[in-house]
Copies of this chain bind each other. A is one copy, B any other.
Amino acid sequence: MEKNSGNNNKLVPQVSSKRATSYDVARLAGVSQSAVSRCFKTGASVSVKTREKVRKAADELGYQPNAIARGLITRRSNIVAVVITEFTTLNYPEMTSRLNEHLAKHDIHILLFTVGPQSDMTVVLDQIWQYQVDGIIASAPFSEAEIQRCAKRGIPLVFYNRICNDSAVSTVGCDHAEGVKILIDRLVRDGAKRFVVLSGPDDSAVARERLRGATEQIELHRLSMSVLGGDYTYESGVRLTQQVIDGSSLPDAFVCANDVMAIACIDTLRGADLAVPEDVKVVGFDGITVGQWHAYQLTTIEQPLDRMIEATVSMLLERIEDITLPAEKRLFAGKYIDGASA
């Protein structure tokens, strides 16, 4: 039993009790290992007497089935990979935590992966394969080839708030274009004629969708607009707004790529002694908490995060159960928040 006597005279951790295995429990309960295993599986054929003996022995030893060993034989890890970008401004961390709350109800846990500019998606996928995850939830850019790799492995994949129109893959998202159109309509109804769009980064499909919504709806009303490209950050909102203020003429309304830029816009306008919404109107997109604070009371479109997260989880779980289910795209309408900035 003293197997660590010879191997390493320095650094013997001496973790007194190596964790108990199903064999240990079986021995203590006077049953077979198979019986122990069955006791931890719902619906298995075990007598009340045996179940009770095993439960007692397991409690005594502090036994918990080893999920690693179980996963090896069942080919189910009960682990889902969540892939997000390192870009924390986008609230992905919070989404992750919320996803976890839903998945936990199904005894599924989240293994977290972040992709940054330097870390290659290919490398991340390799790591994901290693852990034999049951499914993937992604809020990060996948190439068509990478999507195909998942399909080939038979690992269900659901995108959260990513637009992949040209690919047969499951997605959950918010109707960005439609949301912006609602905002534009309200602005027009309130008399706005000249628009400045503070857009998001070109490489963001969401930003392009929002821009498309704005462009189409403003053209529909045969009004004029100009577009300035930002990157979702407060700083870019400040910079672009200042550019406009320094320019020849002010627009009637700023249509911003997200709430953070809208808030930056409001701050900058106020800094130039311009009143919002009297002198200029400002609208955002997302419905973040900060936007509703007294200082801003942003007019915006709120994404139905709860619904979206729930949909993501249920779509993934369905596809874990039945990998042959066809891809599905679910698009939720945003909710117009009638703030005081427009």
Task: Judge if A186 is at the interface, Cβ distance under 8 Å.
Answer: no
From B19, B88, B98, B110, A111 is in contact (CB under 8 Å) with: B110
A263: chain B residues within 8 A (beta carbon): 293, 295
Docked-complex contact A100 and B114, CB < 8 angstroms: yes
- Oligomer copy total: 2
Task: Judge if A3 is at the interface, Cβ distance under 8 Å.
Answer: yes
Task: Judge if A48 is at the interface, Cβ distance under 8 Å.
Answer: no
From B11, B17, B84, B109, A131 is in contact (CB under 8 Å) with: B109
From B15, B267, B294, A293 is in contact (CB under 8 Å) with: B267
Stretch of A174-182, A207-215, A249-257, A321-329 contacting B (4+ beta carbons < 8 Å): A321-329
A260 to chain B, nearest CB (A): 9
Task: Judge if A296 is at the interface, Cβ distance under 8 Å.
Answer: yes
- A 60-82 to B, binary, CB cutoff 8 A, 1 in contact else 0: 00001111110110000101000
From B68, B88, B112, B127, A112 is in contact (CB under 8 Å) with: B112
A267: chain B residues within 8 A (beta carbon): 293-295
- A 293-328 to B, binary, CB cutoff 8 A, 1 in contact else 0: 111100000000000000000000000001110110
Given A295-B296, A324-B11, decide whether A64 and B130 contact each other with a Cβ distance below 8 A: yes
Docked-complex contact A326 and B11, CB < 8 angstroms: yes
> By the criterion of a CB under 8 Å from any partner CB, how many residues of chain A are at the interface?
76
A320 to chain B, nearest CB (A): 11
Docked-complex contact A97 and B112, CB < 8 angstroms: yes
Nearest to A107 among chain B residues (CB) is: B127
A69: chain B residues within 8 A (beta carbon): 72
Docked-complex contact B152 and A17, CB < 8 angstroms: yes
A307 to chain B, nearest CB (A): 17
A153: chain B residues within 8 A (beta carbon): 15, 19
Docked-complex contact A97 and B101, CB < 8 angstroms: no
Task: Judge if A264 is at the interface, Cβ distance under 8 Å.
Answer: yes
| A residues lining the B interface (CB < 8 Å) | 3-4, 8, 11-17, 19, 64-69, 71-72, 77, 79, 84, 86, 88, 92-98, 100-101, 104, 107, 109-114, 116, 119, 126-127, 129-132, 144, 151-154, 167-168, 234, 238, 263-264, 266-268, 270-271, 289-290, 293-296, 322-324, 326-327
13 contacts between A and B (CB under 8 A): A13-B323, A64-B126, A65-B130, A68-B71, A72-B72, A88-B98, A93-B96, A97-B112, A109-B113, A109-B127, A109-B131, A263-B293, A267-B293
